[in-house]
Amino acid sequence: MKMTNYPDSVRIIEMGARDGLQNEANVPTTAKVALINALSQSGLTHIEAGAFVSAKRIPQMADSADVLQQITRSPDICYSALTPNLQGYQAARKANVDQVAVFTSSSEGFCQSNIHCSIAESLARFAPVIEQAKADGVPVRGYLSCVVECPYDGPTAPTQVARVARSLYELGCDEISLGDTIGRGTPASITPMLEAVLNQIPRQKVAVHFHNTWGLALVNVHQALSMGISTIDASVAGLGGCPYAPGASGNVATEDVLYLCEGLGIKTGVDIEAIAKAGWEICRHLNKAPQSNVSLALLGKSN
């Protein structure tokens, strides 16, 4: 039976094809397309499909336009992409993305390392992107990194996270995703951070994005759910990390989030078996190993 503190349903934002594969070398376009097509059959309503960023800095995402052109789209799914500037935004529009995303950090050190500017400068860069997106009727998501701790600056004050989140909201972001980029969060640190943010922006505009460096991502998802957060970023098979955050491991696995929500009586609308199959296929490709039925066995099912 669902506990009354939890939301009735959650929306899963699938990050595997972008945040997951951007840390994997030499993933061919065909494998990315196959992954997204498989995920599109699972009941997901939002898949981040690529990033229109510098191919020199993130070569893994250089084929994002090709990926978006080749996938079999479902009309019920939002296919989104990162767009750090107007050039990226225009390329994303040509690829017919349904939503664009901008990204900054709660910490100055990570902002300088990741996008080579201050937080204030990053917000100024995003303003014309958001303005153009609004004019075009394209929704905008804002990613906020290092909401618990920064690999360069140490712990991040909840008030600082709330301040930057508020700035993104006031710029026009339709949703703010709060990222524990290096996976150092615990419920004791996630709680005050979320409380501070929720004092500044509406709960329905907040998403959480947890990495699993210390094995606590799912625990932190549970804490966010208990505080009424209903949008969760997750990555099939736990793929991911961050190229600019030393030691960061993968995102919380979509399969784990689905299993947790099922146990709590929270609706997701996503088929966990379909997600597990998609995860095993992309991992089989990445590991160059024979296909395994272990995940399906763990689900109590077989082919």
Active-site annotation, residues: 242
DSSP H or E segment with residue 99: strand 99-105
Q: Give the start-end residues of each E strand in 153-296.
A: 154-155, 175-180, 206-210, 231-234
Q: Beta partners for 139?
A: none
Pairing state of beta strands 149-150 and 154-155?
antiparallel
Residues 6+ away with beta carbon under 8 Å from 268: 9, 10, 12, 43, 257, 258, 261, 262
DSSP H or E segment with residue 143: strand 140-145
What is d(CA 169, CA 143) in angstroms, rounded to the nearest whole number? Answer: 11
Q: Do residues 210 and 238 make contact, with C-beta atoms less than 8 angstroms apart?
A: no
Q: Identify which of 109, 108, 64, 70 has the alpha carbon closest to the alpha carbon of residue 84.
A: 64
DSSP H or E segment with residue 81: strand 78-82
What is d(CA 273, CA 279) in angstroms, rounded to the nearest whole number? Answer: 10
**Count of residues making up the chain:** 303
Helix (H, G, I), strand (E, B) or coil at 51: strand
What is d(CA 158, CA 189) in angstroms, rounded to the nearest whole number? Answer: 9
What is d(CA 60, CA 38) in angstroms, rounded to the nearest whole number? Answer: 20
Pairing state of beta strands 140-145 and 99-105?
parallel
